[in-house]
Amino acid sequence: MYLNSRFLERSITVREFSELGSVIKSWKPHERLPSCSVRQLFTRFLDITTPPTPNLLQHFASIATDEDDQQKLNLLATDSAAYEDWRHWRFPHLLEVLEEFPSVTPHAPLLISQLSILQPRFYSISSSPALHPNEIHLTVAVVVYRTEDGEGPMHYGVCSNYLQNISVDEEVYVFVRSAPNFHLPSDPIKPVILVGPGTGIAPFRSFWQQRYYQLKQRQQLGKMWLFFGCRTKDMDLYKDEKAEMLKDGVLDRVFLALSREPDIPKTYVQNLALKEALEIYKFLVLEKGHFYVCGDCTMAEHVYQTLKAIIQKYGGMSDNQVESYMSSMTSSTQRSDCIQTNTLARS
Ligand SMILES: Cc1cc2nc3c(=O)[nH]c(=O)nc-3n(C[C@H](O)[C@H](O)[C@H](O)COP(=O)(O)OP(=O)(O)OC[C@H]3O[C@@H](n4cnc5c(N)ncnc54)[C@H](O)[C@@H]3O)c2cc1C
Ligand SMILES: NC(=O)c1ccc[n+]([C@@H]2O[C@H](COP(=O)([O-])OP(=O)(O)OC[C@H]3O[C@@H](n4cnc5c(N)ncnc54)[C@H](OP(=O)(O)O)[C@@H]3O)[C@@H](O)[C@H]2O)c1
């Protein structure tokens, strides 16, 4: 059945006319939502997986018919510590909340009007438009986890699972947001060092593809090093493509840090970078190369600190000198974004 998502506004209009004795069906656009089926509303436009806000819980408390449900909901809606504990432990989506408080049966149009709009998810473009015109490749980790310290129900990330399950030719809603501070140096001779563990490798695939395209155009290219990290050998993303790029001379060296491979000591990208400290110093400081990090914020901070230690040691700098050198490298006014980071806030 198709129901217009402007149901609330429509029902108001109908009632107004009813009082005059004649019912006129009238449909008006809603400022928040497009015209679509209820199924589409809940699958594509409304956020039904983020735990409900205290405001919504307060509304649920007001319509709960069971006294226990009412009391618990009132507590969660008014006591922020109780709410945070409950939210953190259960991270419940809407259905789980309705299951936890079965006497709450919200009126669908009111529920629709209370839910937040589903927020966009960002993905780094993982292909070069020069090499793959009219295509955009993504590298997506499919998010699946259990709540309650791994003992609770399975939860599925909205967008990554949606992308995994869509069929070929299905229409997706996308927009492109450019990242003006994260790009290859305009001079292709400059050496570049790329550090991207896990899905942090995504934008760097577009970098090496772009360099591959430039190589085919007979352009002269600087050195490109890649530091990639993953848990085990079988998660070595783009293994074959990286081997091709090494063979063709697009990538000069590729480092693999394995953090959970049996019989291998836990290794992170920054541990491998430290082993190449002198070369990294030469690339960045003497040859004015560029350094890129992509991935979660904690990793990026650890890599930054490692780089700082390398530059301080080989540059013979004091603490103050290295601080100001690092900020000059990241400042767009001096060495034009020589350290570029693209970090993802992840829980
Ligand atoms: C600039 C930028 C670029 C990005 N590029 C990429 C990319 O190239 N590839 C990529 O895969 N991702 C990328 N991301 C992350 C991406 O945008 C999404 O956040 C990610 O795919 C999850 O979205 P989702 O809708 O599948 O999950 P959601 O439905 O948004 O669920 C994720 C939420 O679930 C919860 N959660 C997840 N795991 C656990 C756990 N183990 N325990 C408890 N709670 C948990 C957290 O609250 C988390 O915020 C990027 C993010 C940014 C900001
Ligand atoms: N269920 C699974 O099997 C599985 C597998 C991969 C990813 N995932 C999930 O998928 C999502 C994204 O995964 P992803 O591939 O982008 O990343 P990821 O697999 O979580 O991490 C990539 C690599 O970075 C390492 N790392 C963690 N902290 C670091 C730090 N401070 N400095 C340097 N390296 C660090 C990880 O090691 P450690 O994690 O060993 O510390 C791992 O080797 C995450 O939500 C992740 O939990 C799940």
Phi, psi of 188 (to 5 degrees): -70, -5
Q: Are 271 and 257 in contact (CB under 8 A)?
A: yes
- What does the alpha-carbon distance between residue 31 and residue 96 come to, in Å, rounded to a whole number? 29
User: Would you say residue 6 has pLDDT above 80?
Assistant: no
Mutation test of ligand 2: which of 139, 234, 298, 299 has the most ligand atoms closer than 8 Å to its C-beta? Answer: 299
- What does the alpha-carbon distance between residue 34 and residue 42 come to, in Å, rounded to a whole number? 12
Q: For 287-325, what is each residue's pLDDT tens digit?
A: 999 999 999 999 999 999 999 999 999 999 999 999 999
The reply to whether ligand 1 has any atom less than 6 angstroms from the CB of 122 is yes
Question: Residue 345 CA: which ligand 1 atom is closest?
Answer: 53
Rounded to the nearest whole angstrom, what is the distance from the C-alpha of residue 198 to the centroid of ligand 2? 6
User: Would you say residue 112 has pLDDT above 70?
Assistant: yes
Angle at 314 between CA 288 and CA 276, to 5 degrees: 75
Helix ranges, the chain (H): 7-19, 38-40, 54-63, 67-78, 80-90, 94-100, 108-114, 158-165, 202-216, 239-248, 269-275, 277-281, 297-315, 319-330
The reply to whether ligand 1 has any atom less than 6 angstroms from the CB of 91 is yes
Confidence of residue 282 (pLDDT cuts 50, 70, 90): very high
Q: For 176-211, what is each residue's pLDDT tens digit?
A: 999 888 899 999 999 999 999 999 999 999 999 999
User: Would you say residue 1 has pLDDT above 50?
Assistant: no
- Nearest residue (by CA) to ligand 1, atom 21, is 160
- Nearest residue (by CA) to ligand 2, atom 29, is 299
Compute the average pLDDT of residues 19-42.
77
Q: Which ligand has an atom closest to residue 47 CA?
A: 1
Give how far Cα 240 sits from Cα of 126, 193, 237, 258, 295, Å.
16, 20, 9, 17, 22
Question: Residue 260 CA: which ligand 2 atom is closest?
Answer: 40
User: Would you say residue 10 has pLDDT above 80?
Assistant: no
Mutation test of ligand 2: which of 259, 269, 270 has the most ligand atoms closer than 8 Å to its C-beta? Answer: 259
Q: Which ligand has an atom closest to residue 118 CA?
A: 1
User: Would you say residue 331 has pLDDT above 90?
Assistant: no
- Nearest residue (by CA) to ligand 2, atom 15, is 198
State the Cα torsion 321-327-328-330 to the nearest 10°. 150
Q: For 228-275, what is each residue's pLDDT tens digit?
A: 999 999 999 999 999 999 999 999 999 999 999 999 999 999 999 999
Rounded to the nearest whole angstrom, what is the distance from the C-alpha of residue 115 to the centroid of ligand 1? 20
What SS3 class is residue 296?
A: strand
- What does the alpha-carbon distance between residue 168 and residue 154 come to, in Å, rounded to a whole number? 27
- Nearest residue (by CA) to ligand 2, atom 11, is 141
- Nearest residue (by CA) to ligand 2, atom 14, is 198
**By C-alpha distance, which of 123, 63, 130, 145 is closest to 98?**
63
- What does the alpha-carbon distance between residue 156 and residue 49 come to, in Å, rounded to a whole number? 9
Average pLDDT, the chain: 89
Rounded to the nearest whole angstrom, what is the distance from the C-alpha of residue 125 to the centroid of ligand 2? 20
The reply to whether ligand 1 has any atom less than 6 angstroms from the CB of 344 is yes
Rounded to the nearest whole angstrom, what is the distance from the C-alpha of residue 157 to the centroid of ligand 1? 7
Query: Which pLDDT does position 224 carry in this prediction?
Result: 98
The reply to whether ligand 2 has any atom less than 6 angstroms from the CB of 299 is yes
- What does the alpha-carbon distance between residue 76 and residue 69 come to, in Å, rounded to a whole number? 11
Q: Which ligand has an atom closest to residue 160 CA?
A: 1
**By C-alpha distance, which of 177, 143, 179 is closest to 162?**
143
The reply to whether ligand 2 has any atom less than 6 angstroms from the CB of 141 is yes
**By C-alpha distance, which of 290, 297, 293, 130 is closest to 206?**
130
- What does the alpha-carbon distance between residue 209 and residue 128 come to, in Å, rounded to a whole number? 6
State both tokens at 133. Answer: 């015109």
Domains, the chain, ordered by start: 7-114 (1.20.990.10), 192-344 (3.40.50.80)
Give how far Cα 233 sits from Cα of 113, 155, 178, 187, Å.
48, 26, 33, 34
172 CB-near residues (< 8 Å, 6+ apart):
163, 166
